[in-house]
Structure 1
């Protein structure tokens, strides 16, 4: 569809001052703590979930989790989430050529999505309180005091102060859709002219509270997260962070920045159906995908790749597949869920998956879905499995759905284009091989 196609009530205008592009990437995940190690692991089908081995593992209601390897921020002090966010943002800023500081700090902002922020810093104190009440050791003085006197901090403010970004600052919490919600808000901020550059993404650390919630809903997998698999039985809770540097195309051009991709469309919708279950017809998911494509000025048949929410729970995957079929009809984009490899990184999930979408556009390859052995007949979509798939990705859709009916979708395209003709045939790369 041409760039002049309509979106709702008005035309889609490609103005360099309001076109939003991606110029920097930063990620810390259970399968890699740099962009390239993360991407290589994703393409090879490396799995980053396994036995929970942290010192306080006994306080968690599950033995399996996804942990960021080699990340030395202390656990249980309340600042692990903040340090994950700062590390991802600093890497993205460096990648974007902003490591010397933004040209105009008051026109550079931060927007981060999170499920519970660094609330996990309170959990050791709460656990100690309950143990003391049951006759255990007494609670130490000032049990809620973190390294700076309190464990709860504004994650966006911490990142902004670290990088010298004094523009718009916001933390958004739309459950597991938070990463995409943050990207959408940041893009709106740029389009509205309130900022030239936004560092946007998501972060969450492991939390016994989140695990307890999923355990109470009987949503935790006994062995592995199996997206779209016939035998899927639940999710594995994980942690991570990802930040993308977004800026107007005009600003990127003026400073000579490399552009990875365009954030061409974004939208959100509410199921208004149930606190934890998706609408059985996936109405919120359908609206988010349709509206995001309309904002981008793209027809469904122009989409090459969908990064699915794909949590491995019986209801989510079936409903998401139904929604994809409702939007795309006979057209079958290559679908993948990174959660089979990453686990569910909560509010960081769709931010990490956005990084993967951008890299799929860059390299023309879609990663496989780990732990998918037998595709569920109730999920009739083209899920990539068995190895990465080479194909000319021109348009990638990133889905994120959360409790409370929160749904959010982002659409990424190659810079300055919608959908050129296919340049090379599709090819599957066996897992573990080298491209």
Structure 2
């Protein structure tokens, strides 16, 4: 279970996303109109712009260009200090280039691979390339697992709250390849490759600079236990971290995606919210499961709801496959 001390307010001031539905506002519309996506893999269009001779690299892979474009959009029109950092979550990382490398290795042997191939094959390559392209020289982290979008936002929050940075980009991404479609499409709902990045800023600085504040990151909890126990511990820790009770939560964006862990989440909510009845929503039913981006889109949607006055405090849940659970509370600033 994870709890963090409160030090400084951290606000969400901007959101950007890439999804088969379109941009973040298109994802928001799809959720609110209640029209579910097809039960099939939904892929992003190919990114525009050159893939070669970019920032001195011989080649930059597809998902990295998508992540860099999303990160650039969230910063558009916003001056940021040179100390800004980035924290991203992913389930599989740069999966396509990994599969291409393995195929090349199998067919042509190790001499056919270059150092550049190995560099862009690493899990933290998209986040590192975004830092290079956008001059983000602050804290930099890439986290792995289905809970990593919430974990990455919490880690970014911690960097700002501890005074290590005034500004952080945080979110998640994943691309879907035929191999991934084959091995996981039967255990998850419709898949959708995507990237979502949020801009987090020190609260006092954001207000002083006249930033349009969307919401505040209020609390976070995580647990490694499986099922009901992990869900209960993570939600309870997030409530404690935010100094809130279950009665203060207006809405829950659930992690449930039709797998066994969903039963544990439902039981945990039933036990923890005995004296209140928050609204509950599963966005994956409408926009698919975007793996490392799913939780980031949920946090972005929660921030949007809070900014419009539709909710005061929203609990966002995410669970891993097999074990691991994370909860993040987003609220009105």
TM class, shorter-chain normalised? 0.7 to 0.9
The Cα shift of 1:70 comes to: 6.5
Q: Does 1:192 align with 2:162?
A: yes
- SS of residue matched to 1:263: strand
Superposed, 1:340-351 pairs within 5 Å as 340-351=285-296
Q: 1:322 to 1:260 in 2, by over 3 A?
A: same
Instruction: Assess if the C-alpha contact under 8 Å between 1:111 and 1:183 holds in 2.
Output: yes
TM-score by length of 2: 0.87
Residues paired across the two proteins, number: 323
The change in CA–CA distance for 1:318 and 1:176 in structure 2 (over 3 A counts) is same
Offset, 1:239: 0.9
Q: Distance in 1 between matches of 2:3 and 2:74?
A: 35
1:79-90 map, 5 Å: 79-90=61-72
- Name the counterpart of 2:223: 269
Structure 1 segments unaligned to the other structure (5+ residues): 1-7, 51-63, 133-138, 220-233, 272-277, 365-391, 416-435
Q: 1:166 to 1:310 in 2, by over 3 A?
A: same
List per-residue Cα deviations over 1:325-383 (Å, max 9, x = no partner).
1221242211111111222111111011111111121235xxxxxxxxxxxxxxxxxxx
SS of the residue 1:113 aligns to: strand
Secondary structure at 1:105's aligned position in 2? coil
Contact 2:222–2:325, Cα closer than 8 Å, also in 1: yes
Q: Any conservation in 2 of the 1:73–1:80 contact (CA below 8 Å)?
A: no
Partner SS, residue 255 of structure 2: coil
Does residue 155 of structure 1 match 2:126? yes
Secondary structure of residue in 2 paired with 1:312: coil
What SS class does the counterpart of residue 253 from structure 1 fall into? Answer: helix
- 1:211 is displaced (CA, Å) by 3.1
- Which secondary structure does the structure 1 equivalent of 2:29 belong to? helix
**Aligned position for 1:413:** 331
Instruction: Specify every segment of 5 or more residues in structure 2 that has no aligned partner in the other structure, as ranges.
Output: 52-58
Contact 1:235–1:311 (8 Å) recurs in 2: yes
1:111 and 2:87 are equivalent in the alignment: yes
Select which of 12, 17, 25 maps to 1:27: 17
Alignment correspondent of 1:430: none
Does 1 or 2 have the higher relative contact order (CA < 8 Å, sep 6+)? 2
Equivalent residue, structure 2, for 1:301: 247
Larger Rg: 1
For each residue in 1:160-209, what CA deviation from the matched residue of structure 2 results, as whole angstroms up to 9, or x when unmatched? 12221111111111x11010000010111111111111100001111344
Judging changes above 3 Å, is the alpha-carbon distance between structure 1 residues 296 and 148 closer, same or farther for their aligned structure 2 residues?
same
CA distance in 2, matches of 1:28, 1:242: 6
Alpha-carbon separation, structure 2, partners of 1:305 and 1:185? 23
Determine the C-alpha separation between the residues in 1 that align with 2:280 and 2:142: 29
Change beyond 3 A, Cα 1:79–1:191:
same
8 Å contact from structure 1 (residues 48, 341) kept in 2: yes
Computed over aligned residues only, the root mean square deviation of the Cα atoms, in angstroms, reads 2.8
Query: 1 CA distance for matches of 2:298 and 2:3?
Result: 30
In structure 1, distance between residues paired with 2:50 and 2:288 = 21
- Looking at structure 2, the residues matched to 143 and 404 of structure 1 have their Cα atoms a distance apart, in angstroms, of 37
Q: Is 191-200 or 340-349 further displaced after alignment?
A: 340-349
Is the counterpart of residue 37 in structure 1 residue 7 in structure 2?
Answer: no
Is the alpha carbon distance of 1:74 and 1:190 closer, same or farther for their aligned partners in structure 2, counting shifts above 3 Å?
Answer: same
The answer as to whether partners of 1:30 and 1:48 remain within 8 angstroms in 2 is: no
- Choose the corresponding residue for 1:123, options 99, 117, 121: 99
Q: 1:74 to 1:284 in 2, by over 3 A?
A: farther
Preserved CA contact (<8 Å) 1:27 1:241: yes
Q: What is the correspondence of 1:259-408 to structure 2 with a 5 Å cutoff? A: 259-271=213-225, 278-279=226-227, 282-313=228-259, 315-364=260-309, 392-408=310-326
Give the deviation of 1:147 after TM superposition. Answer: 7.9
Distance 1:150 1:351, change over 3 A: same
CA contact (8 A) 2:88 2:141 kept: yes
**Structure 2: how far apart are the matches of 1:285 and 1:29?**
28
Write 1 or 2 for the structure with the bigger share of helix: 2
1:292 offset after TM fit, Å? 0.7
CA pair 196-118 structure 1, distance change in 2 beyond 3 A: same
Equivalent residue, structure 2, for 1:214 = 184
